[in-house]
Structure formats: structure tokens, C-alpha cells
Amino acid sequence: MAAVDSFSLLLREIGRSYNYCVEMLALAGALYATKVCVTVLNNTYALIRVHFVPRMFGRPDLSRRYGKWAVVTGGTSGIGLSYAKELASRGVDLILISRNRERLESIAEEMAETYGIRTAIVVMDFGRGREAYPVIEKALEGKEIGILVNTVGVLCPLPDSFTSLTEDQVWEFINVNIGAANMMVHLVLPGMVQRKKGAIVNVSSISCCNPCPRYTAYSASKAYLDHFSRSLHYEYASHGIFIQSLIPFFICTDGTKSGNTLSKMSFFVPSPDEYVRHAVTTLGVSRRTTGYWRHTLLMILARFVPEWIWAWVVPRIKYGQKSL
């Protein structure tokens, strides 16, 4: 009888412990569900605030807000060209920097005729390193640079191991993807600080958010730009300078027209013009953004993807040059 009583007591104790565990699990589940709900509400609010509210108030006068001139690096194709066109349509005078003289002259002439703005060009290959910048500095003298858009960059067209890169390719990533943005900011920022206004846009990439094997040098260079921009914000926001890290996902640029995953525009893969029309509206609103509301949806989803899945998927995507 004592054995039966002891067994019954044991069952009761087990039941109490089980109920306690169930209550703790229920509490943990409720806390997690609350966290998810708060995150979803916060992301929804940010999506509306950054991508939709600014578009309700028309197009601000960027020249008055930041300055008369905008410098766009890599301004003859892709996001750079689209950014130049969008700024020109808003009455901002342009200085375009790229290495193709014929293309630069054609675009500058077209912009001046179409939008009635002043234009200037600088023919320069950023892959030359330090020797490029005295020429650029001279071209910028006497101009009120209000906006700098750093879009110039290089990307190997196919995924490959880091050791397969040539020494020239490694230096190109350093000189173009990293050095160009640093030096251009170094050239224009003092004038902005003096005038207490200005905007700098550094175009990074979704590849900055997670490791991208077989695109190692490229993704690391974009991570640098992202951190560079965010750090500059804390240094110079109090001086009236707006600094933005722009993080696009996939865009159907000139380098993604054939033979790769992103060969056609789709719901999540816009043209450069469509992307930039959205991105410009986030200027002065969000210091770190995808620039495009559909890409922001992807960014929200990407936060839930484990790093090892990301690292497995990325090497299997062919992006084409300057597309990621």
C-alpha cells in the first residue's frame, strides 16, 4: 500500500513539474510571438515611412537643400546613369566621372539639352589609383558640390575562388570599389562641412549583409562601403551632412542582359531607372536603405535566412558584371 501511495505521489510530482514546464514554454512562446509582432509592425512602419510617405509630398528642391552641383561616379551606365538622369530632371547641375570619353560627352550633351542644366565631365579610370584624384580635384574647383553619388564599382562576371583572382583584379577591387568612394568623399566633404549642407550616397550591395563565398573580394568591398557610410553619418550628421548607405538587391543593368540569372526585369528585379526613381525619394529620409520598397521586403525576409544557407546559395547565382 505504501508503494502505491509512493507511486501516486511520484505521478503528482511529475504532473506538477510538467505543468510548470508547459507554463514556461507557453511564456517563452508568447514572448517570441510578441517580439515577432513588434518586429513586423516596426518593419511595416519603416517601409511606409521611408518608401511611401516621401512620395506623397512631391519632389523636393535638391539644389536648394544640398547644393547646385552633383558629382556622379560611374555615371555612364547602370545605377550611375539613372541617378544622373534623375538628378538632372530635378534641376541639379552634373559632373559626370567615368573612363569612356565618347560616352561621357554624349550623355552630358543629352542631359544639358533635355533638362536645361549645366554639365561637366571628367574622363578618369579609378583603377589608376592615387594619380586619378589631382585631376578630379582640379575639375571640382569653384563648384558648390551639394551631392556626391558613388556608384562606380567592379564585379567579376562569374563566381570564382579568391586565389583565382589576378593581382590586377585584387587591386582593382581596392582602387575602384573602396578607394574611389573614400577619395571622392575626402575631396567634397570639406566644402559641404563649410556650407553646413550636402548629401553623400555610397552604393553598396545586399552582398554586404552576409558572407558571399566566391565573390569574397567584391562582397567585402561592399561591406566596407556600408560601414564607411554609417560611421561617416555619426561623424558628420551634426554638421548638416546627410550620408546614405544604399543597399540594392538585384537590378537588371547593362551587365545583366544575357547568360545569367538576372537577365530580365521582374517584380523584384527592376530596371535602373525604376530603381533610382524610388531611391532618390529616400535621400534625406533614411541613412541605410535598399532604396526600393520591394527590395526592402526581400531584406526583411533575408534577416531570417541562416548564414550557411546564404553562403550556399550565393555561389550558384550568376550575376553578370555590376549587377549585385
User: Which whole-number Å values give the CA distances from 163 to 212, 214, 216, in the listed order?
Assistant: 15, 10, 10
In the set 218, 236, 275, 319, the catalytic residue is 218
CA angle, 264 then 266 then 272, to 5°? 75
Main-chain dihedrals φ then ψ at residue 46, nearest 5 degrees: -65, -40
Residues near 118 by Cβ (< 8 Å), separated by ≥ 6? 93, 94, 112
CA angle 165, 167, 169 (to 5 degrees): 60
Residue 115: closest CA among 145, 92, 131: 92
Grid cell at residue 16: 506538477
Catalytic status, residue 218: yes
Question: Distance of CA 276 to CAs 69, 78, 120, Å?
Answer: 18, 10, 21
Q: Are 243 and 229 in contact (CB under 8 A)?
A: yes
Catalytic site positions: 218
